[in-house]
Amino acid sequence: MKFLEHKAKEIFARYGIPVPRGVLASRPEDIVDPPLPCMVKAQVLVGGRGKAGGIRPAETLDEARRVAGQILGMDIHGYRVKQVYLEERLNIAKELYLSLAIDRSAREPVLMATAMGGMDVEDVPREELFMEHVPAMVGLQPYVVRSLQASLSLDKEIGDQVAAIARHAYDLFRKEDAELVEINPLVVTGNGRVVAGDAKLVIDDNAEYRHPEYANLDQDRTPLEQEAHEKGIVFIQLDGDIGVIANGAGLTMATLDALNLKGGRGGVFLDLGGTDDPEKVKQAFELLIKAHPSAHVFYGQVGDGGSDHAFWGPPEVNPSPRPSYAVTESCPGSDLTGEAAAAQTSPPSTAWTVWLPFPAPTSTRLAPASALFSRSRSSAILPPLAALPTFPPKSPPSISTSSTRTAASDLMSHSLSAI
């Protein structure tokens, strides 16, 4: 869950982090008593507002209304501005940076700070950046805070305020189940106050049930992404034409990488989250169809079961109720589906599927393979990954004697190497 600046600052203030005074408005005429002089800020869930013209100064009430009218309705990196936040203008003497985030490699929160605030932290030289992991079982210890103060080379009075804000930020980070708490810039004013000039807050979606008060917040989701979220499905729309459905985010990302290497472009990232519930899978396909009715479909699942070999054929010809690795490609331009497609002597133009067991004992998987051949004369044994066609495929590959174990191993190795 991402938070707009005004909402993040409301939460910051609740945890004792100083923030400037401000008012929220959706229309220029709603602005009655802004803290003048002020900064009029576009409220969108994306960075780069200032460079896009979404943050402007105003001296008077009339100017504030005029500037707000210019910003409202703007398109900032694909997001339309629906609200503006009019915030008191700060007398900036120095800009710092402070954040808490999850270091997934270390599996711990990491505290970061620098005296080079007001710029992208990625652009800060590593030697200028304070970084310290904060073990969850120990918390933010006083020696870490002292190291933070020393690294910023601040006067004691200013340093003490920064230290207090760091402690409050960590308290917020833990209690709100946050993935990111970022203050950039953390402003030191001319009169010695330390204030959060900006605020970014991201809370883990998996903790949403513990924070029902945030359930109705505006998120940067498309209507389909919102529908999927309500159904408990991870669904992200991309700019390609191949919809990818897989069981596990790692497998989904590996599949997208493998498709990219083969010339394909992912149009939908859809993670089933480890479920094998048929209803959930049905909902996933319905969402994907709504996203791109003429798109190709790539479905992958690693698990138990399947036939001895991998086959191309209509998607309804399932050799096992639980395929190990199923790949389905929908090809637009034909009305043939199901048994009608399976009965064709030529490759089906509507869809083809490949089932890849991983791994599969040879002696116990021949019967389902025979059943598949008996139902579809258009099926063919899958060649190794290197021989797979680029996307979108024009026809199934030629028959090969390659075993599924080899093909599945090649596919998984290729996907893992792509990561």
For the annotated catalytic residues, the residue numbers are 97, 182
Does residue 185 contact residue 171 with C-beta atoms inside 8 Å?
no
Give SS3 for 238: coil
Strands 242-246 and 266-271: parallel
Spatial distance between the Cα atoms of 254 and 413, rounded to a whole number of angstroms? 10
- Taking CA 97 as the corner, what is the angle to CA 79 and CA 161, rounded to the nearest 5 degrees? 125
* CA distances, 372 to each of 20, 156, 186, 310, 312 (Å): 68, 76, 64, 10, 10
Spatial distance between the Cα atoms of 256 and 244, rounded to a whole number of angstroms? 7
Phi, psi angles (nearest 5°) of residue 251:
-65, -40
Spatial distance between the Cα atoms of 327 and 369, rounded to a whole number of angstroms? 16
Q: Would you state the structure tokens that stand for residue 221, as one six-digit string?
A: 């989701």
Neighbours of 55 (CB within 10 A): 18
DSSP string, 129-164: -EEEE--TTT-S-HHHHHHHHHHHT--HHHHHHHHH
Give SS3 for 323: coil
Spatial distance between the Cα atoms of 7 and 13, rounded to a whole number of angstroms? 10
Spatial distance between the Cα atoms of 287 and 164, rounded to a whole number of angstroms? 47
Q: Dihedral (C-alpha) 259, 270, 381, 310: value to the nearest 10 degrees?
A: 130
